[in-house]
Each structure stands twice: as C-alpha cells, then as structure tokens.
Structure 1
C-alpha cells in the first residue's frame, strides 16, 4: 500500500493526538483538544483518539478523512525475495473492514523528549481483493490469480515516534528523527481462489498449507511490512510538521 493511500487513516489519528489552536475551526463540534501543559496529557490523547474513532466509519469531511468502513485501496504490490519466501504479488480493488473498531491500549507522550508511543488493538480486520501472485513459500510453488480473502483477529500495533524541534523563520517546528512499528497478529484465516489455474485439489492443499503455516509466513514478511508502515507514518507526520508550527499543533 502506498503512503498516499494510507495517509487519510494515519493522518486522522495523528491529528487527534497533535492538533489544537488554529485547528479548532476545522473540527467537528465538541471535539477534544489536547494541550502540552495538561498533567494528564496521555489520558487526553487516549480520549481524543477514541472520540475520533467513533466518527471514522462515515468519515470526517472537515478533515478530509474518507469513510473507513470499508477502506478502499486501489492497489498494493508486495515483493519478497529472501529467506523462506520468494513472492511477487499484486492486490487490486482491496476492501478493508475493521480499521475503525480499535481499542487504545496505551499512550505515552513525552513532551521533553519529543516522543510518542501508542499501542492499538484491532479485534478483527477483514480483507478482500483481486490478487495475482507467483513465487515460492517454504519451497512450495505458489501461482494464482483470482479473489483472496483474509480474516485477521487480535491485531496489536505498537508505534514509536521520536522527533526533535528546530527553528524556521523564527517559529519552532517539529521534525521526525525515527519511526518504529511493531505488530502482532493473534490468528489469521486465508483463502485464495483459482490457484494453479483453477486446480481445486492443489488449490485447497495450498490454502490448508498457508493457514497451517501463516505465522511463519508472517514472520518472513515482517521486516518489509513494518518498514512500509513506518515510512507511511514518517511521510505523513513530516508533511504535517512542515506546515504547522509546534505551538499550532500542541498549544501550551
């Protein structure tokens, strides 16, 4: 998934955590604003994210956030050619459901060190797409083109953002120095139809294999997925920080 496609979703959470002051006119009525002087800043950010979550299914036009149930993604390409997975795949017309139904497990904002740590839990995420892939997984050949479906449960996402402050044209701004993303999936069910040119016997055997070994496959794909998620977060926040000053984003 490209950074451009994921920006509305990532930006919605970041805006909730950071905006104040001049953002007030853009916000829905009764929207919570957090200030860096708040002794319970972590709690304020948590409540703010939860307020925003309730509006995500239908979108927030004032912030140009599209409806997230479902989130529609035109295309995603994944290429992995190291370790036990050699796979080139493309997914089109993707429907993702469940991204607006998350729990905020933990928030830690450190104003002095310019860091933010947030842990989210998604009970269920369901995906449907048109797929095309070729390659090998654990020496097993994999080839197909058709409809794929995946049901993920108990998805934990931990994001750590480290920034710093600098002066530009007399105003203090934030910049991103480092972003790290970690995720864990409790369980996954996958089904790819029309594998091996419609050979149902081979296709069902491969689907059984993928579902029995999904955790190993996920671990092989982890570095590329976590790096991609971190880059999306970096690009989104950097653009936001370049436009708005520190005091505009997080008033005193």
Structure 2
C-alpha cells in the first residue's frame, strides 16, 4: 500500500468532505421486505464496516465516449458491527430481536 492510500484511509479528504475509508460508517439503515417466504422489518444504527478499503479490482472497463466506468471488485474480508432491532417471519418461524450484531465475512 502506498503512503497516499494509507493517508486517505486514515483521514479522508476533509476539504472535499470525503470521510476516511476505514471504518465505513452508515448512521442508519431501514429494511422493510414483504415476500412470500420472508417478511422482515429491521432498523440498523451505528453501522461500521472494516476491511472494505482492501478491495481488489477484478475487472475494469472505461468508455471515455460515454463517460462510463464499470468495475467488478472483491472485498477479501469484511468485519461489520451494528445495533439492530428486527421483527419479522422466515417461512413460519418468527424473527424478533434487538442487540448488537458483529459479523466477519470472508471469501
């Protein structure tokens, strides 16, 4: 990793209001799904994701005429922490809970 990349991850770009890449912070997220097999309402708060800045670009294509860019990336590992409040149903099983979710996701 180069020093510029490390600095961007650490402090972001304050003059352009770009936050640090680590952790990725999302203040809140609402989920409301009503499908045949899954009905769920969830409220997530204080979401923090670590590891996203270590992404690997698998495919990149640029079309300068259309001013488009398409990219496929892999995130080798991601650690997520969030407060949650969930109410729903999976098939016939009720889903209810409130607390702190911590998850490690990797290839």
TM-score normalised by the chain length of structure 1: 0.38
Counterpart among 128, 134, 140 of residue 87 in structure 2: 134
- 2:97 paired residue number: 144
How far apart are 1:61 and its partner, in Å? 2.2
Task: Please say if 1:63 is aligned against 2:32.
Answer: no
- 2:72 paired residue number: 119
How far apart are 1:54 and its partner, in Å? 4.1
More helix by share: 1
The higher relative CO (CA closer than 8 Å, separation ≥ 6) is in 2
Residues 122 and 92 (structure 1 numbering): CA distance in 2 closer, same or farther, change over 3 Å? same
Residues 133 and 80 (structure 1 numbering): CA distance in 2 closer, same or farther, change over 3 Å? same
What is the count of residue pairs matched by the alignment? 105
How far apart are 1:115 and its partner, in Å? 2.9
Structure 2 unpaired stretches of 5+: none
The alignment yields a C-alpha RMSD, in angstroms, of 2.2
Task: Please say if 1:77 is aligned against 2:30.
Answer: yes
Residues 72 and 61 (structure 1 numbering): CA distance in 2 closer, same or farther, change over 3 Å? same
TM-score normalised by the chain length of structure 2: 0.83
More strand by share: 2
Partner of 1:148: helix, strand, or coil? strand
Residues 110 and 120 (structure 1 numbering): CA distance in 2 closer, same or farther, change over 3 Å? same
List, as ranges, runs of 4+ consecutive aligned residues in structure 1 with deviation greater than 6 Å: none
